[in-house]
Amino acid sequence: MAKTKSKTAFVCNECGSEYSKWQGQCSDCGAWNSVVEFRLGNPARGGAAAPSKSGYSGALAEARVLKDIDLDELPRFSSGISELDRVLGGGLVPGSAILVGGNPGAGKSTLLLQTLCHLAQQVPALYITGEESPQQVAMRAQRLALPTDRLQLMSETSVEAIQAAAEQIKPKILVVDSIQVVHSDELTSAPGSVSQVRECAAWLTRYAKQTGTVLFLVGHVTKDGSLAGPKVLEHMIDCSILLEDTADSRFRMLRGQKNRFGAVNELGVFAMTGEGLKEVKNPSAIFLNRATEPASGSAVVAVWEGTRPLLVEIQALVDDSQIANPRRVAVGLEQNRLNMLLAVLHRHGGLQLGDQDVFANVVGGVRVLETSADLALLCALVSSFRDRVLPRELVIFGEVGLAGEIRPVPSGQERLAEAAKHGFTQAIVPRANLPKQPIPGMDVKGVNKLGEALAALEG
């Protein structure tokens, strides 16, 4: 019998357009060098069969009326780490595929090894390591004093062998570390290539959906901090979480970027210790470890991360510039938004900082992505420029518009409650965020304009 050849397609990584042969530029989206070879499944080996003349040769799936679909809560179960459960939306969902990214040394493998060692005491678990030897993983588990009597461990990079082992062990939790080193024998390209990552991730995700297995895929990141590999990888999986770290801090932030079963941009905080990653139950207390001596240019803001408030300190430094083009540096904040707020401060606050160097920093390595920090940043800039210390018990939040108006932000009541819990007695907030009931021990001032906020700082 003649050997059946598998078919090959050329697919654009950016838009998904298919071509019969390779070309340097995608005709649909215009991206260069985005068309890669992708080998389709062989019908003789169980792949997709070619469509018939009628249009489809497979069995039709049963259609259901939308209102008849069961809306019961998904059967989640805890990972044993509350901060990880928070980022995942409340726990692990059977059949879900989770992509974990992060810089080298951030603690991805440590976090997953801690999770699996504890979960293996309750359910079958399998850890696939493709970058380390079993002895290296065992040494880490021994150093972290983890229970190792139940966890199944295998060093393998072939996706076919991984699936065969999983079908034999039948784990409820499967970790593949990492997806960039896994390869399929059906493809001729090297491990880590776009076609290999795409096919292997689709293979493993399909297995997880069919068997109800929770799948963790460890992914590498590029120099700019984004996940390496084809963009379609992030569309295949259900959750994408990123473990962020800074070189000068022992704290790690686990941030949700995509979640089909919960809120995105949820934040979990860990501390890297000699015993592995430890949960930080009260992140606000960590990021508010302020200097004993009050200094100008410091303001505290209540930001909203996922489903909880977080108190962080914003520092600003305004100094005479020694160069023709004054510098504008933002760490943990958006650079373009800093430039915009400086223009608003000049137009509606009457402060000219065009000849000043301006530096802004979020203490603790936290990245503030929402607009509630606008007013606190401007107050810190004014404090530094005028060399006037803001009260230590003052918390500030609010969005600043181009017309100088102070716009309300979501969950204002919860932000004020978090500040009051940590001993803050004064607050400057948008007038629309004033609490309906007075908060005991806290004086809350509502403002509508930037000028009113600056006047409140004076008074």
Q: Which two tokens stand for residue 333?
A: 């904040």
Helix axes 194-211, 159-169, angle to 10 degrees: 10
Residue 229 pLDDT:
66
Helix axes 134-143, 108-119, angle to 10 degrees: 80
281, 313, 345 — which closes off a domain?
A: 281
| pLDDT bracket for residue 298 (50, 70, 90) | very high
Same domain, 261 and 343: no
Cα gap 112→106, rounded to integer Å: 12
Query: Which region among 46-50, 63-67, 129-133, 195-199 has the lowest average model confidence (pLDDT)?
Result: 46-50
Residue 43: pLDDT over 80: no
Residues 6+ apart with CB under 8 A from 213: 94, 95, 166, 171, 172, 173, 174, 207
Same domain, 299 and 446: yes
Residue 39 pLDDT:
62
Same domain, 276 and 297: no
Mean pLDDT of the chain: 87
Residue 402 pLDDT:
96
Same domain, 323 and 429: yes
Q: Does any domain span residue 66?
A: no
Q: Does any domain span residue 56?
A: no
Q: Which long-range contacts (CB under 8 A, 24 or more apart) does 112-115 make?
A: 112/175, 112/177, 112/216, 112/218, 113/137, 113/140, 113/141, 113/144, 113/146, 114/81, 114/144, 114/146, 114/276, 114/277, 115/79, 115/80, 115/81, 115/84, 115/173
Per residue, what are the HEC states of the chain?
A: CCCCCCCEEEEECCCCCEECCCCCECCCCCCECCEEEEECCCHHHCCCCCCCCCCCCCCCCCCCCHHHCCCCCCCCECCCCHHHHHHCCCCECCCCEEEEEECCCCCHHHHHHHHHHHHCCCCCEEEEECCCCHHHHHHHHHHCCCCCCCCEEEECCEHHHHHHHHHHHCCCEEEEECHHHCECCCCCCCCCCHHHHHHHHHHHHHHHHHHCCEEEEEECECCCCCECCCCHHHHHCCEEEEEEECCCCCEEEEEEEEECCCCCCCEEEEEEECCEEEECCCHHHHHCCCCCCCCCCEEEEEEEECCEEEEEEEEEEEEECCCCCCCEEEECCCHHHHHHHHHHHHHHHCCCCCCEEEEEEECCCCCCCCHHHHHHHHHHHHHHHHCCCCCCCEEECCEECCCCEEECCCCHHHHHHHHHHCCCCEEEEEHHHCCCCCCCCCEEEEECEHHHHHHHHHC
Residue 60: pLDDT over 70: no
| pLDDT bracket for residue 376 (50, 70, 90) | very high
Same domain, 251 and 299: no
Residue 163 pLDDT:
94
Out of 5-9, 101-105, 235-239, 393-397, give the one with best mean pLDDT: 393-397
Structural domain tally of the chain? 3
- Rounded to whole angstroms, what are the CA distances from 169 to 144, 148, 164? 26, 17, 9
Q: Which residue has the higher pLDDT, 229 or 441?
A: 441
Same domain, 86 and 226: yes
Same domain, 315 and 258: no
Q: Does any domain span residue 437?
A: yes
Q: Does any domain span residue 310?
A: yes
Residue 46: pLDDT over 70: no
Residue 62 pLDDT:
79
Across 423-450, average pLDDT: 94
pLDDT in tens, 227-248: 766 677 888 899 999 998 876 6
Q: Which residue has the higher pLDDT, 288 or 97?
A: 97
Same domain, 428 and 320: yes
This prediction has a pTM of: 0.77
Residue 54: pLDDT over 60: no
Q: Does any domain span residue 77?
A: no
> Residue 32's beta-bridge partner residues?
25
Phi/psi at 411 (5° precision) = 60, 40
| pLDDT bracket for residue 66 (50, 70, 90) | confident
pLDDT in tens, 384-397: 999 999 999 999 99
Residue 44 pLDDT:
38
Residue 51 pLDDT:
39
Query: Which region among 64-68, 72-76, 274-278 has the lowest average model confidence (pLDDT)?
Result: 72-76
The CATH number of residue 108's host domain is 3.40.50.300
Strand order in the sheet with 35-39: 18-19, 8-12, 35-39
Same domain, 245 and 310: no
Q: Which residue has the higher pLDDT, 133 or 57?
A: 133
The CATH number of residue 387's host domain is 3.30.230.10
Q: Does any domain span residue 68?
A: no
Same domain, 300 and 276: no
Residues 6+ apart with CB under 8 A from 151: 116, 117, 120, 125, 127, 141
User: Whole domain around residue 29: which residue ranges?
Assistant: 1-42
Tokens 């993983």, located at residue: 137
Same domain, 130 and 15: no
**Chain centroid to CA 84: how far?**
12
Same domain, 173 and 197: yes
Q: Does any domain span residue 73?
A: no
Q: Does any domain span residue 70?
A: no
pLDDT in tens, 150-200: 999 999 999 999 999 999 999 999 999 989 999 998 888 888 888 888 899
Phi/psi at 381 (5° precision) = -65, -45
Phi-psi region of 170 (alpha: psi -120 to 50; beta: other; left: phi over 0): left
